[in-house]
Amino acid sequence: MESFKLRSDEDYIELNNLLKAFGWVATGGEAKIRIDNGEVNVNDEVETRRRKKIKVGDVVTFEGQTGKVE
């Protein structure tokens, strides 16, 4: 499982930006399409909100990859 650490001045990261930060997608446009198509799960539920606020402890899965926000 990969992890992403929020900066001390951040409470969350938006889902589309997290996919880019993990390197799971090449562009923001690709992230939007993948999220819109229901290919991303947050805490074991399909998530279609591109700008969903992902907070500490949330687990994101995409194409067999898993990441957690710390």
Task: Classify 2-69 by CATH class.
Answer: alpha beta
What's the average model confidence in pLDDT over 13-35? 98
What is the per-residue pLDDT across 1-12, written as a single tens digit (0 to 9) for each?
999 999 999 999
Side chain identity at residue 1, one-letter code = M
User: What ranges do the domains of the chain cover?
Assistant: 2-69
Determine the pLDDT at residue 2: 96
Structural contact between residues 18 and 55, judged by C-beta atoms closer than 8 angstroms: no
What is the pTM assigned to this prediction? 0.94
